[in-house]
Amino acid sequence: MKHQTERVGRMAMLAVIAGLATCAFSAPQRTSRQPPPNPGEMENIPNAWPKLTDAQQQAAIEALKQSAQDAQTRLNRPLQSFETKYFLFCSDLSPRESRQWASLLDRMYARLAEMFAVPSGLNIWRGKALIFVFSRRDDYQRYERMIARTDPGSTAGMCHAFGDGTVRIAFYRQEDTLSFAHVLVHESVHGFIHRYRTPVFVPSWANEGLAETIATDLVPQAGRRDQVKSAARENLQQHGGMGDFFTADHIQGWQYPVAEMLTTFMIQAGKGNYVAFIKGIKDGMSWDQSLAERFQAPADRLVPVFGNWLGVRNLQP
């Protein structure tokens, strides 16, 4: 019954879109029902990340392990390390808890791999993604300042993605388990998007929106989606529109709920088109060109329809 209700709701939403923005959406070029691309498709992407040999992948893993050991030495903070298929996990949490969080990251990878039709079992990382989780906030901040050479500010986690394709992500274990899990997934999504297809940067609004959406999906919290939707509506009304949402180098705090809801809306409206939109950006299109040609709804049509869905009338990009 729940599945049937959700399907009816989605069909009703698409009908509303069709009425409010004529021709804004057409049938997806590839839907989730179609078979994923074969591995060869991943190898013929213009400007793709270099494909490493097995020996080069192993060398990259060994380099990451050495950098993790160096970090422990400099911080004078012993960490236990272990591997999953896609992650190197270093933490001073208990082994049981560390494996719990590593398992969540594996589920995140599987979710994104399925969504973006990454061939089953393919490792997109350079080596693996290196994850640090500290039990104390002070150690996390020392890592960011001493090792990552970044001011962590009030953050609970940060993703460091490098031009050579290496991804390192650090966190501290917040007291609230669900909040920590949300941040863990959020920052790791950024790493995945960095390594997806090409080095091209995905604009902040789309990057943060996807990270929040996946984190909300994988770390369910009662009422969170409705709270985010209400916050997005209220923030847009309070600020009189979307502001520099599409053009900001990094969106502002009040725009995060908007980014999550816009991403959720786009995926529900057409998952295949949404994936094509992200692919378009990673393959060199501007975000507005990819919206128009790949998602098949330019911003001047998408945003008013999104606003109506959210409960904000006459919303403009």
pLDDT tens, the chain, 317 aa long: 333 333 333 333 333 333 333 222 222 222 233 333 344 444 467 889 999 999 999 999 999 999 999 999 999 999 999 999 999 999 999 999 999 999 999 999 999 999 999 998 999 999 999 999 999 999 999 999 999 999 999 999 999 999 999 999 999 999 999 999 999 999 999 999 999 999 999 999 999 999 999 999 999 999 999 999 999 999 999 999 999 999 999 999 999 999 999 999 999 999 999 999 999 999 999 999 999 999 999 999 999 999 999 999 999 99
One-letter amino acid at 286 equals: S
Helix, strand, coil shares, percent, the chain, to 5? 55, 10, 35
In this structure, are 181 and 211 located in the same domain? no
pLDDT of residue 12: 36
Q: Is residue 29 part of a domain?
A: no
Residue 224 in any domain: the answer is yes
Helix (H, G, I), strand (E, B) or coil at 293: helix
Do the domain assignments include residue 59? Answer: yes
Whether 290 and 182 map to the same domain: the answer is: no
Report the CATH number at residue 91.
3.40.30.160
Q: Are residues 64 and 188 in the same domain?
A: yes
What is the per-residue pLDDT for 44?
A: 66
Spatial distance between the Cα atoms of 18 and 309, rounded to a whole number of angstroms: 12
Answer yes or no: is 282 within a domain. yes
Alpha carbon 291 to its chain centroid, in Å, reads 18
Which of 195, 221, 250 is where one domain is finished? 195
* Domain match, 161 and 213 both: no
Provide the angle, in degrees to the nearest 10, between the axes of the packed helices 256-269 and 2-20.
100
Question: What is each CA distance from 37 to 114, 193, 198, in whole angstroms?
Answer: 11, 18, 17
Cα–Cα distance for residue pair 311/153, rounded to 1 Å: 34
Residue 102 falls within a domain, yes or no? yes
Final residue belonging to a domain, choices 128, 161, 195: 195
Clarify whether residues 93 and 220 are in a common domain: no
In a domain, 221, yes or no: yes
Question: Are 60 and 138 contained in the same domain?
Answer: yes
Task: Report yes or no on 127 lying in a domain.
Answer: yes
Domain boundary among 135, 162, 195: 195
Specify whether 58 is located in the same domain as 191. Answer: yes
**Residue 45 pLDDT:** 79
Q: 295 and 223, same structural domain?
A: yes
Q: Distance (Å, rounded) from C-alpha 172 to C-alpha 311?
A: 37
Domain tally, the chain: 2
Q: Which domain holds residue 254?
A: 200-317
- 172 within a domain of the structure (yes/no): yes
185 & 257 share domain: no
**Same domain, yes or no: 234 and 309:** yes
Q: Which tokens is 54 given?
A: 């097995």
Q: Which residue has the tokens 């298929």?
A: 85
Separation between Cα atoms, residue 152 and residue 187, nearest integer Å: 13
How far is residue 149 from each of residues 107, 201, 211, 266, 288, measured CA to CA in Å?
30, 21, 24, 36, 34
The verdict on 208 and 247 lying in the same domain is yes
What Å distances lie between residue 192 and 39, 60, 105, 120, 259, CA to CA?
18, 17, 11, 15, 18
Q: Would you give the end-to-end CA distance of the chain in angstroms?
A: 37
- Is residue 222 domain-shared with residue 291, that is, in the same domain? yes
Stated pTM of the model: 0.85
Distances in Å between the Cα of 302 and the Cα atoms of 6, 58, 245, 306, 317 are 22, 44, 14, 6, 9
Rounded Cα distance, 4 and 271, in Å: 18
